A and B are shown apart, each in its own frame.
Chain A
């Protein structure tokens, strides 16, 4: 068949398929009916046949390109991924996130160790030489500590709590997600972020202790600290899963290992989002308030405890979830 005859014969079907694709792309399969879908699949099969024919007889033509394009679009509509249902979402939160964390306890442990190392080094650095603090803390914070006052009082009286909470949780989530993404730099950036955050905490604690503010700073941190630190450690753990996969892909090729483990690591990164939103709100609304100290401590410990219980002990084990 000459190309002209081939186009003349089949062009109506191709254009019909193209029109139908336009409809289903705009409305989704639910916006169509059964005869429509029947016709669509029939046209799809017909066009794949035409594509196969064209591949043999009309190599290097624009027509072949068009047919590839058309079949790709139709394929896209016919082989759709499962729709995201409330059930799938629930399963994701209830089972998949805790499973991912439990499978990678070592990575989370490393993440925690590096964070703690940061704290330890921060504490001892300030003990050794107080000027270290000026490297990592902003001047406004330094000055208020030197004058024996909490810097938080100044900030939270100027900035309204809703704005502060938004600022806190957006920047904390950014840090956590960066710690996750940093896994692709073989974990260097992840380690740096974890260490820096730990170091900063250590420096603040030691410096406040030097100026008689230890009580106030602990009271301030009590409400949100455990949850916030836990979330960042989990996200950092996700980063280390990526890093470990890049460095030790095991029996898979590096590419396949990354695709396999990345799916779990990203679940760990997502686990930080709700925790950090909660922590941000507490930090802005409750931590600077005049609520009794014991309430803040109980709140902080409860939330932190619930978070770890959720991650380590809830959800079905992966094997059971897969079997059902």
Chain B
């Protein structure tokens, strides 16, 4: 319900797949959608500005010979078509050929999909983009903004019409699991009793171990300390609970035993 908190849990929505599982996707929040639009506007504005400058310069005969092969009417036509194209074609074309993404959306990792999870078709894209002047841009953009806040799936009016929603794609980074592939060598000899961590704790531990080398020393030590504090209960009843190891070494030791 709440657009400001971008966390996974609060902004996910469930799509039902034919495989009988509920796919959870993260609905894009207002901030990233606005950012994507601003990037698109900036891009279009830049291109139009460049052509406009050429038209003006050509009109005043400033640029001279090197663009002589371009007549100024050709450039004017190009400019008119660019302005029109940016207003009405740009979003449609890109979302259609790039499967729900414009350059701005691609940079912010957003994608338009149908509410059943399938890719958008040409007519969906047209529906959601032709009404853009009403519910996104200009003074009436407030309506769209409000809709994105209020609607559980972040749909503005155009999205409702086209049955689409904008999702945030999370970059998949398998390297956070790298620690598993190269488990630290087991301690020689002694039989180590297994310690059970729940999946969240386990992931937390491995993420820290994976990232620690990139962290500044001070942060690294502080995080190790707080992880040590919060994971210690899991080691209750083993020799590790009262082990005199430094926090970071203690965490490494814990990783070996789980």
Q: Are A177 and B258 in contact (CB under 8 A)?
A: no
Q: Are A69 and B172 in contact (CB under 8 A)?
A: yes
Q: Are B88 and A173 in contact (CB under 8 A)?
A: yes
Number of A-B residue pairs having CB atoms within 8 Å of each other in the complex: 146
| Contact among B17, B76, B77, B177 with A11 in the assembled complex (CB-CB below 8 Å) | B177
Q: Are A76 and B119 in contact (CB under 8 A)?
A: yes
- A80 to B119 CA separation, bound complex (whole angstroms): 6
Does A219 have its Cβ within 8 Å of any Cβ on chain B?
A: no
Q: A269 to chain B: which residues have CB within 8 Å?
A: 130
B198 to chain A, nearest CB (A): 9
Quick one: which of A15, A163, A262 has the most chain B CB within 10 A?
A262
Q: A160 to chain B: which residues have CB within 8 Å?
A: 73
Q: Find residues 77-125 in chain A having any chain B CB closer than 8 Å to their own CB.
A: 79-82, 84
- A181 to B22 CA separation, bound complex (whole angstroms): 34
Q: Are B25 and A68 in contact (CB under 8 A)?
A: yes
- A18 to B134 CA separation, bound complex (whole angstroms): 39
| Contact among A69, A72, A173, A242 with B84 in the assembled complex (CB-CB below 8 Å) | A173
B195 to chain A, nearest CB (A): 11
Q: Are A263 and B177 in contact (CB under 8 A)?
A: no
Q: Are A84 and B122 in contact (CB under 8 A)?
A: yes
Does A70 have its Cβ within 8 Å of any Cβ on chain B?
A: yes
| Contact among A60, A75, A180 with B200 in the assembled complex (CB-CB below 8 Å) | A60
Q: Are A178 and B126 in contact (CB under 8 A)?
A: no
Q: Are B84 and A2 in contact (CB under 8 A)?
A: no
Q: Are B19 and A48 in contact (CB under 8 A)?
A: yes
Residue of B nearest to A171 (CB): B84
Q: Are A163 and B21 in contact (CB under 8 A)?
A: no
- A3 to B205 CA separation, bound complex (whole angstroms): 12
Q: Find residues 124-152 in chain B having any chain A CB closer than 8 Å to their own CB.
A: 126-127, 130-135, 140, 143
B145 to chain A, nearest CB (A): 14
Q: Find residues 237-266 in chain A having any chain B CB closer than 8 Å to their own CB.
A: 242, 255, 258-259, 262-263, 266
Q: Are B131 and A76 in contact (CB under 8 A)?
A: no
A6 to chain B, nearest CB (A): 9
Q: A11 to chain B: which residues have CB within 8 Å?
A: 174, 177
Does B157 have its Cβ within 8 Å of any Cβ on chain A?
A: yes
Q: Are A263 and B180 in contact (CB under 8 A)?
A: no
Q: B246 to chain A: which residues have CB within 8 Å?
A: none
Tell me which of A51-59, A138-146, A196-204, A289-297 binds B: A51-59
Does B238 have its Cβ within 8 Å of any Cβ on chain A?
A: no
Does B117 have its Cβ within 8 Å of any Cβ on chain A?
A: yes
Q: Are B199 and A57 in contact (CB under 8 A)?
A: yes
Given contacts A70-B172, A162-B77, contact A255 B160 (CB under 8 A): yes
Given contacts A79-B118, A84-B122, A259-B163, contact A72 B23 (CB under 8 A): yes
Does A63 have its Cβ within 8 Å of any Cβ on chain B?
A: yes
- A72 to B117 CA separation, bound complex (whole angstroms): 7
Q: A242 to chain B: which residues have CB within 8 Å?
A: 131, 161
Does B249 have its Cβ within 8 Å of any Cβ on chain A?
A: no
Q: Are B73 and A62 in contact (CB under 8 A)?
A: no
Q: Are B133 and A69 in contact (CB under 8 A)?
A: no
Q: Are A259 and B84 in contact (CB under 8 A)?
A: no
B14-51 Cβ-contact flags toward A at 8 Å (1 or 0): 00011101111100000000000000000000000000
Residue of A nearest to B99 (CB): A76
Q: A25 to chain B: which residues have CB within 8 Å?
A: 99
Given contacts A181-B132, A266-B127, contact A63 B80 (CB under 8 A): no
A54 to chain B, nearest CB (A): 9
Q: B70 to chain A: which residues have CB within 8 Å?
A: none
B60-86 Cβ-contact flags toward A at 8 Å (1 or 0): 000000000000010011001101100
Q: Are B258 and A8 in contact (CB under 8 A)?
A: no
Does B218 have its Cβ within 8 Å of any Cβ on chain A?
A: no
- A270 to B8 CA separation, bound complex (whole angstroms): 39
- A270 to B162 CA separation, bound complex (whole angstroms): 15
Does B176 have its Cβ within 8 Å of any Cβ on chain A?
A: yes
Q: Are B162 and A75 in contact (CB under 8 A)?
A: no
Q: A61 to chain B: which residues have CB within 8 Å?
A: 199-200, 203
A165-197 Cβ-contact flags toward B at 8 Å (1 or 0): 011001001100110111011000100000000
Q: A184 to chain B: which residues have CB within 8 Å?
A: 131, 134-135, 143, 157
Q: Are B200 and A166 in contact (CB under 8 A)?
A: no
Chain B positions within 8 Å of A, measured between CB atoms, are 8, 17-19, 21-25, 73, 76-77, 80-81, 83-84, 87-88, 99, 113, 117-123, 126-127, 130-135, 140, 143, 157, 160-163, 167, 169-170, 172, 174, 176-177, 180-181, 199-200, 202-203, 206-207, 258
Since A60-B200, A72-B23 are in contact, a sample of 6 more A-B pairs with Cβ atoms closer than 8 Å, ordered by chain A residue number, is A3-B203, A11-B177, A61-B199, A80-B118, A81-B121, A263-B123
Closest 8 CB pairs of A and B: A262-B161, A170-B84, A81-B121, A58-B199, A181-B131, A181-B134, A48-B19, A3-B199
Can you give 10 A-B contacts (C-beta < 8 A)? A11-B174, A51-B21, A65-B8, A68-B24, A80-B118, A163-B76, A173-B88, A181-B130, A263-B123, A270-B126
